[in-house]
Amino acid sequence: MIVVMKKNACKEEINRVSAQLQEAGFHCHLVVGTEKTIIGAVGDKSRLLNIPLEALPCVEKVIPILAPYKLASREFQPEDTLIQIGPVTLGGSELHVMAGPCAVESEEQILLTAQIVKEAGATILRGGAFKPRTSPYSFQGLGEEGLRYLALAREKTGLPVVTEAIDSASVDLVAYYADIIQIGARNMQNYALLKKVAKTGKPILLKRGLSATIEEWILAAEYIITAGNSQVILCERGIRTFETCTRNTLDLSAVPIIKHLSHLPIIVDPSHGTGKWRWVTSMAQAAVAAGADGLMIEVHPSPEDALSDGAQSLNPANFRQLMENLRNIARYTGKKLRPNDSRHLSCPEHTKLPPTEEGYRPKEGVM
């Protein structure tokens, strides 16, 4: 439920109401708006019988949240959530593109790709160090070596890095190197992993599961938020249907639906959504027209030689053309796309890894 405090409610009154709710077993989340403060209370409503909230002079009204998800709902927070990642603000007026290879293959490959996508206007670098693949014989990624290459690319270009954590054992390692931790489609309902990544305090990119409904997807985000991390980015990447012409069926209707139901930012991954590079540009443009806050695009200097998902990766020329097309579309949706830029972004603190005595030392159980 939502407890809406009166406009003139003071800090002491807000704290008093929060304390009463917590004593009754509710988990409270405070949202301070420009005019009013609301308290999101999650718990058993029957415990409110002894707390006459609406009788309190500092309380304006109490609103039940009917959706099964509470903290991720638009009812709980009417304003859009903005997520700060280094120099990037996701969810605001700018359209952000996360671009890079499916898998980090070498230092040379990721540094070259990072420079290519940055010059075209991308603001976040993507790349997989751990690759959960359908076939055990497919390239599984470089692990920590790949993470080090991503960190080096960030240092060289200033681009924040997003990469996937595939299990609880790898979370601390990924969190040390990455700016955004990705939860892949196969792990959307791995609730133990969701709770673990929430504790890192890093922004979490949550991909929609292969067969997940929108409600199940938002409920997965709710796990992260209830664990204390509200920095969740939803990513539509296609769902499994009967269609075989594409790798998945990209559900672009999810964009306006999420915007209506939740305050969380949503991006679209047309690379996995289609599985074929020739359809990526059209679907990326459609996603922006639908109101997406950003895109995740797979780009490889030489897709025909890629160790992972070359068929859905754009080459540098195609990516540059896509970015030019997006600039024309974005202005009609109220979003801005950063111009081409070959300079180093100004974020010196962001590009550096936290200091350690001898580099990263994984905790017990981290491979």
Q: Say what the pLDDT of residue 363 is.
A: 46
- How many other CB atoms are there within 10 angstroms of residue 307's CB atom? 19
Q: Say what the pLDDT of residue 233 is.
A: 98
Rg (CA), the chain: 21
Nearest alpha carbon to residue 178 among 150, 155, 207? 150
Asked if residues 147 and 160 have their Cβ atoms less than 8 Å apart, the reply is no
Angle at which helix 144-157 crosses helix 107-120, to 10 degrees, equals: 40
Highest mean pLDDT among 4-13, 308-317, 346-355, 356-365: 308-317
Task: Report the run of H or E that residue 234 belongs to, with start and end.
Answer: strand 232-236
Please list, in sequence order, all residues whose beta carbon lies within 8 angstroms of the beta carbon of residue 134, skipping any fewer than 6 positions away.
Answer: none
Task: Give strand pairing partners of 82.
Answer: none
Distance separating the N- and C-terminal Cα atoms of the chain: 42
Find the range with the poorest average confidence among 13-17, 32-36, 207-211, 254-258: 32-36
CB-side neighbour CA atoms (13 Å) of 59: 17
Mean predicted lDDT score pLDDT of the chain: 89
225's tokens: 């938020």
* Global pTM exceeds 0.85: yes
pLDDT at 353 over 80: no
Q: Where does CATH 3.20.20.70 sit in the chain?
A: 83-351
Asked if residues 40 and 70 have their Cβ atoms less than 8 Å apart, the reply is yes
Q: Say what the pLDDT of residue 51 is.
A: 75
Nearest alpha carbon to residue 95 among 355, 348, 344, 336? 336
Q: What is the pLDDT of residues 231-287, one digit of tens each?
A: 999 999 999 999 999 999 999 999 999 999 999 999 999 999 999 999 999 999 999
Q: Rounded to the nearest 5 degrees, what angle is found at the Cα of 161, between the Cα atoms of 160 and 167? A: 145
Angle at which helix 277-290 crosses helix 254-261, to 10 degrees, equals: 30
Nearest alpha carbon to residue 314 among 323, 303, 305, 306? 303
- Distance separating alpha carbons of residues 221 and 191, to the nearest angstrom: 10
122's tokens: 């991308």
Asked if residues 100 and 125 have their Cβ atoms less than 8 Å apart, the reply is yes
- Distance separating alpha carbons of residues 128 and 179, to the nearest angstrom: 13
Class of domain 2-63: alpha beta
Q: Say what the pLDDT of residue 141 is.
A: 78
pLDDT at 137 over 70: no
Q: Span 189-207, mean pLDDT?
A: 97
Task: Report the run of H or E that residue 5 belongs to, with start and end.
Answer: strand 2-5
| Residue located via tokens 């593109």 | 97
CATH topology of domain 83-351: TIM Barrel (3.20.20)
Nearest alpha carbon to residue 367 among 67, 27, 129, 163? 129
